[in-house]
A = this chain, B = another copy of it.
């Protein structure tokens, strides 16, 4: 039993922490969001250079061979930055869904994911996307940051079988509709009208579910990092801001609320650690159940921290200008992606039975 970080993990933590501190202050982030592409291509390139996409790729395939704890360390360090780039998606899901193909793994940063469809909520069954004769038709929603992507990995059915397909974004039969999420991250809908689709061998529904579970567990760590940052910011605000002649932090009620928020964050962190450990040790239903337990528990904490950190900031918390809202919006959005609390409560209970 050992909760300390390895030398490699400490380096990852430092590298990512320094990047966030230097490049992703809340003010810098606002600037990036205002750009046409919804993020800063230069900063994105710097992020790419950190090589985080390699963390979860096996060493014999040119990666760092890291485990779920490594992904967790990166995620928690990224959290305070609310980065606009799809780091975790690439690091965990693209790596897991590449089917071991070197051409994808070497260039994983250029791939995005089309796994969800409008009107299907959190289902991964790709009911509305078909492949026939190497051509894909249908549409995907909530596709992460497409600005840097040359290809999308898209789930679709072919002859009644669910598979994963690689589609070039430059294909004329691919239409993009870009939008920001509520938290400002640039995402998109993709429409396919017969674009060329290349099947990724060995990837079916089970592999997709497992990859999304690993991504979910990694995203939980990002949420923990964001919650900790929101807590720190709230603590700072209460210490500085005065009312009725005293710092807000002198009011017992507000102290207790800070304590409760701290416990939520610590609970969430423990749950993220537990889930990463499960991700290292299990596969199949046990993995899905771990992801669901973590997302349900951490999702609740995320809503709590989002709402109470706004409330404890009072009017300032309601403004777009002051930063706490950025964390709150991120945490709310976190809950709307990859299954909400009810979805994961239900799945964890089904898989326990």
A256 to B252, CA, bound (A): 10
Is A253's beta carbon under 8 Å from chain B? yes
Please indicate the chain B residues that have their CB under 8 angstroms from the CB of A253 in the complex: 252-253, 256
Query: Does A177 sit at the interface, judged by CB under 8 A?
Result: no
Cα distance A252–B250 in the bound complex, in angstroms: 11
Query: Which residues in chain A, 309-333, are within 8 Å of chain B measured between CB atoms?
Result: none
Q: Is A251 an interface residue (CB 8 A)?
A: yes
Q: How far is the CA of A253 from the CA of B251 in the complex (A)?
A: 9
> What per-residue 1/0 map shows which CB atoms of A217-253 lie under 8 Å from chain B?
0000000000000000000000000000000000111
Instruction: Please name all residues of chain B whose beta carbon is closer than 8 Å to the beta carbon of A252 when the two chains form the complex.
Output: 251-253
CA gap between A127 and B271 in the complex, in Å: 46
Give the bracket for the number of chain A residues in contact with chain B: under 10
Of residues 242 through 291 on chain A, the ones whose CB sits less than 8 Å from some CB of chain B are 251-253, 256
Q: Which residues of B contact A256 (CB under 8 A)?
A: 253
Taken together as a complex, chains A and B put the C-alpha atoms of A251 and B256 apart, in Å, by 12
CA distance A253 to B256 in the complex (A): 8
Chain B residues with CB under 8 Å of A251's CB are 252
Give A253 Cβ to nearest chain B Cβ, in Å: 5
C-alpha gap A331/B300 in the complex (Å): 30
CA distance A320 to B256 in the complex (A): 30
A63 to B77, CA, bound (A): 75
Q: Nearest B residue to A254 by beta-carbon distance?
A: B252
Q: Determine how close the nearest CB of chain B comes to the CB of A249; give it in whole angstroms.
A: 13
Give the distance in Å from the alpha carbon of A251 to the alpha carbon of B253 in the complex: 9
Question: Could you tell me the distance between the alpha carbons of A251 and B251 in the complex, rounded to whole angstroms?
Answer: 9
Q: How far is the CA of A253 from the CA of B258 in the complex (A)?
A: 13
| Chain B nearest Cβ from A8, distance in angstroms | 45
Closest-by-CB residue of B relative to A256 is B253
Of residues 5 through 25 on chain A, the ones whose CB sits less than 8 Å from some CB of chain B are none
**Residue in chain B with minimal CB distance to A255:** B253
- Please measure, in the bound complex, the distance between the C-alpha atom of A122 and the C-alpha atom of B248, giving whole angstroms: 50
A256 to B257, CA, bound (A): 12
Smallest beta-carbon distance A79→chain B, Å: 30
**A251 nearest CB neighbor, chain B only:** B252
Q: Give A198 to B253 CA distance when docked, in angstroms.
A: 62
**What is the CB-to-nearest-CB distance from A351 to chain B, in angstroms, rounded to a whole number?**
23
| Chain A residues near B (Cβ < 8 Å) | 251-253, 256
Which 5 pairs show the lowest CB-CB distances between chains A and B? A252-B252, A252-B253, A253-B256, A253-B253, A251-B252
Question: Please, could you name 5 A-B residue pairs with CB atoms under 8 Å apart, sorted by A?
Answer: A251-B252, A252-B252, A252-B253, A253-B253, A253-B256
